[in-house]
Structure 1
Amino acid sequence: MTLRMPRLGDPAEYGITSREMAVLALLSEGLTAYAIGSRLRSTENSVVKHKENLYKKLRVHDRVTALNKARALGLICPEPRVEDDLVCGGPAESARRHGDGPAPPGR
């Protein structure tokens, strides 16, 4: 089995902030705005505003389309398929890469 990490796109190309990337990563986990706010120690209203900004920057109108476009642009890891040997760190790893996740253990 070969482990490959997909190359993530540059959020700055689309004007996406590191906080918006953290929200995007957690959206891809299926979390609600309230749950995302709890994880990021932010208010639900702030998360909703970040989502609205993401939708504008990605030129989409809903969560599913935003996630699909973000995957297509390489901003977040693609959804794993059973037949693939693709291993990605997942949304939490994506958030860490963009500066908003917790530090890995031992660091």
Structure 2
Amino acid sequence: MYLSLHTVRQLLSVVDAIAGITDPQRFPESCLHSMCDLLASDSVTYHVKDLHTGKAHHVEFRRLSGPPENGFRPHRVTLSVEPFPTLHATVVFSRHARPFSDVEHDVCELLREPIASMLRRVRSDHLVDPALRDGELTLREQEIVRLVALGRTNVAIAHELALSPRTVAKHLEHVYRKLRVDGRTAAVARVLG
């Protein structure tokens, strides 16, 4: 796949914006406009549904005020993101002028993991007991406990945080000592309390 330097810069800008999201409700206002620009779309729609609670959120960013005069159906690219089994998000890019190219489909696919990662991270932020955020655990230890609570192995945590598995194990030893627990299950039970 060949991407122009301009497209790579736009893609990196969008990925950086997604990575900076701390509240999933801010994702549409922070990123849909730049995602629309990235794929030269007329509109982009973001729909997310929590299958556990049944709550849904739907936002659309539209560059044009209405459909074109020719009345043809728009061309679409759909990106489905499932960061975990109980949450499903969909991003739909639409435009009337011309179909999306294979490269544009590939660029769209490159957004899947950053969006999924943001949704996992934001959700895991809510898993840690607020009492533990007040200094009992370091930020890195909190991050590791959140990933353990999501069912990640030491190797997966190491890969996600760019650490070695031994470093993750050492952090977990410190967590167990600070929380006065014997292992992963007990640490997660304490955190989710």
TM-score range, shorter chain: 0.5 to 0.7
1:85 counterpart residue number: none
Letter in 2 for 1:46: T
User: Whose strand proportion is higher, 1 or 2?
Assistant: 2
Q: Displacement, 1:13?
A: 4.2
Q: Relative CO higher for 1 or 2, CA cutoff 8 Å, sep ≥ 6?
A: 1
Q: Hey, what's the Cα distance between the residues in 1 that align with 2:171 and 2:185?
A: 16
Q: Displacement, 1:7?
A: 9.1
**1:20/1:51 contact within 8 Å kept:** yes
1:102 counterpart residue number: none
Q: Is 1:9 matched up with 2:130?
A: yes
**1:37/1:43 contact within 8 Å kept:** yes
**1:11/1:17 contact within 8 Å kept:** no
Structure 2, gaps ≥5 residues long: 1-52, 56-125
Cα RMSD, aligned residues only: 2.5
1:94 counterpart residue number: none
Q: Displacement, 1:9?
A: 1.2
Q: Is 1:54 matched up with 2:180?
A: no
Which of the pair has more CA radius of gyration?
Answer: 2
Alignment partner for residue 156 of structure 2, among 35, 50, 54? 35
Between the two proteins, the alignment pairs up a number of residues equal to: 71
- Secondary structure in 2 matching 1:46: helix
Identity %: 29
Question: For each residue in 1:15-66, what CA deviation from the matched residue of structure 2 results, as whole angstroms up to 9, or x when unmatched?
Answer: 2000000100100111111110000001101100010000001100011111
Structure 1, gaps ≥5 residues long: 73-107
TM-score scaled to structure 1, two decimals? 0.57
